[in-house]
Amino acid sequence: MSTDAIVLLKEDHKEIRRLFGGFGNAGENATATKGRLVGKIIELLTVHTYIENECMYPEVRKLLPDLEDDVLESYEEHHVADVLCIELSMMNPDDERFDAKTTVLIENVTHHMEEEESDWFPKVRAGLGRKQLQEIGARMIEMKQKAPRKPSQPSALKKALDAVRA
Ligand SMILES: [Fe+2]
Ligand SMILES: [Fe+2]
């Protein structure tokens, strides 16, 4: 199995998109199904955001300083998704705003993943060697083991604090 960081992150994106598609196809009254899908979406996003925030982004920022602005914008996009995930994790699937909030989360994250895949990953691949990307990927695989799976876990909440702290 490849440990290339970009390949791994794209695999996560694919899985996240699959769940987004499931939510879109679930139908108006499929409350239980949508609740289950959103629970899974929150879990995957919490893990994925964690490994990007704690490993991929700081590594790229250090190795490719020209991409600093992209990294900072991505942290902010993650933060918007974090807020929506925290709120959704405290809601019931039959709450009035549950579907609307999930739709906004899906729109935001879809935009963010598209930007990463079409613009940012190619720049990173052009700037880093294969070996560097494999090393970063291997570290991310390790970090996934101890990554938070719920927005309420302290290591996930740290991201929200980092977003407002210099
Ligand atoms: Fe990201
Ligand atoms: Fe990503």
Centroid of ligand 2 to alpha carbon of 29 (angstroms): 30
Residue-wise over 58-78: b if at least 16 C-beta within 10 A, else e? ebbeeebeebeebbeebbebb
Closest-lying ligand to the alpha carbon of 77?
1
Centroid of ligand 2 to alpha carbon of 100 (angstroms): 22
Q: Quick one: tokens of 157?
A: 């909440």
Q: Quick one: tokens of 5?
A: 């960081």
Per-residue pLDDT of the chain (166 residues; tens, 9 = 90+): 689 999 999 999 999 999 999 999 999 899 999 999 999 999 999 999 999 999 999 999 999 999 999 999 999 999 999 999 999 999 999 999 999 999 999 999 999 999 999 999 999 999 999 999 999 999 999 999 999 999 989 888 777 777 776 5
| Residue with token string 């019931």 | 92
Number of C-beta neighbours around residue 33 at 10 A: 15
Its pTM stands at 0.95
Q: Quick one: tokens of 14?
A: 């694919």
Question: How crowded is the C-beta side of 77, counted as CA atoms within 13 Å?
Answer: 21
